[in-house]
Amino acid sequence: MSFELRDKDLAGRVGKLKLRSGTLETPAFFPVVHPFKQPEDLPLERIVELGFKQVITNAYIIKRKLDGKVVKVHEVLNFNGIVMTDSGAYQLLVYGAERVAIDPVELVEFEEALEPDIAVIVDIPTPDTATREEARFSAEETLRRAYLSLDVVRRSSDRIAWVLPVQGGVYVDLLKWSAEESRKLSDFYSLYAVGSPVKALEKYDFKKVVDMIYAVKSIVPVDKPVHLFGGGHPLLIPIAVALGIDTFDSASYILYAKDDRYMTDYGTLKLSNLNYLPCNCPVCSRFEPGDLLEMSKLERVRLLAEHNLSVISKTMREVKEAIKEGRLWELLERLARSHPSARDAFERLVKYVRWIERLDSRFRGSGRGVFLVDTTSYFRPELVRHRDYLEKYLKHVLEGDHQRPLALFPGDPRDRPFIESRTYRRALEYLHQRQADLEQYVKLVYIPFFELVPAEVSHAFPYSQCEISLSASRRLSTQMFSKLIDLIKRYKNEVVFFTCKKLAWSRPDLVREKICGSVDCSHIDFVEVCEDV
């Protein structure tokens, strides 16, 4: 197995995962298929036609059904695409160890004989209801089994990419400990997985899943693909990808269908409550809700499953395109407005933006700018980097006893680069008329989102490659003025503060109120530059 990165945005990446049966572009979704009942639910041929050349199936079920008979998983499924096998951990999670007896070494040996492209060892899942002691046991026992399975993993690693699940459940400190210990096995295991988020996902507790993903991704080797079990909802997939998840699996498409649930980008809906089908997939283009409800249960389930897979496929394509264009943050912002759980998850993701910034690409292959539309945009990695640079710049400007005079210019989002704007040129004319030495001035542009931009870098990305909302929120304006006040409080030399009454955040009355209400303005010259612009 080899994993090659093609594009990056935030902590997400588009990659090529080379396996024995072919090359898989990631991020990728593996539909869960039953090894023997799938033709009744949704035939594999139709799953392939919907764009999925990879599936995951259950080695434990195959072993029980065939009584341990040695077969090849591709023959069992009659499928020549990429196959991943799970070991039965989900059955353990649902039915408990009392009803599901799995020998960890015997099962991985059976998986080896099945010859899948990717295989998961026999881990012990951590339910979200587990006590701390139970969670610790699952983490420790999974690691013990990872070592027990090493002989099989070593001898088959040229044919099978083995997955090491990281357990610990909702106890983030245990997850981190487990990830640290699992990292020691990185020479043997090809992929890692975030273990046991299924129950939290079913409850739409996405913010808890964000914590779980971060705990694992921030520790395991960055060059290893990471899988998320049970990640099968379009609301979660973009968030998980933004945190670095490369592959997903879920049976949500068929389970929802059996419950007459219709998947959308913004949640799931009961078919009986729908008047229209808000989708253009092959199913929704041909039928109305009433048509589906009048069908037999079997036919309706198949068609709903097709629709649900189409929505997941669309989500995967949108996410990959967003990564390639450097617009993954903007996709998350849109998603956060579609459902409270998505909003909660996005706000939790912001908590980890410093870590995300370190992984985010500094370059945008498409050359497209960024959209700054809301308070959430303030936390984009590009703006985090800007604020780090600004702090260093201002520290340099403020040091020593011989400060240069300071000129503050209003930034107009509609007229960029800032140093070529009409307001900036008008302000320079004013300074020139005062016979000022323009080279001596420290020149800063003030504008919400960025707060302050050194004029000499305003041509650079992202200052001139962005679209900024004119309706800056009060919070963003407050942050900008806080930065201005802090700077002026420490400034000992002359300050020329240019205002523009045509910009909401640069009105002369507002600027004087905000600045002079907090600092002594005796050394500040306020000049309006937009009177006849």
Q: Which residues are catalytic?
A: 86
23 beta partners: 18
Burial of 355 (0-12, 13-18, 19+ CB in 10 A): middle
269 beta partners: 262
Cα separations in angstroms, 339 against 171, 342, 344, 377: 25, 5, 9, 18
Helical residues (DSSP H) of 362-433, grouped into ranges: 381-398, 422-433
Amino acid (1-letter code) at residue 332: L
Cα separations in angstroms, 102 against 193, 319, 435, 518: 20, 37, 86, 69
Cα separations in angstroms, 133 against 129, 168, 169, 171, 284: 11, 10, 11, 10, 48
Instruction: Name the strand (E) or helix (H) holding 343.
Output: helix 340-350
Distance CA 243, CA 82 (A): 24
Instruction: Name the strand (E) or helix (H) holding 56.
Output: strand 54-58
What is the number of alpha carbons within 13 Å of residue 270 lying toward its C-beta? 2
Pairing mode, strands 12-19 and 2-9: antiparallel
2 beta partners: 18
Cβ atoms of residues 53 and 95 within 8 Å: no
Give the closest residue to 446 by CA, choosing from 438, 433, 455, 436. Answer: 455
Dihedral angle at the C-alpha atoms of 217, 220, 221, 225, nearest 10 degrees?
Answer: -60
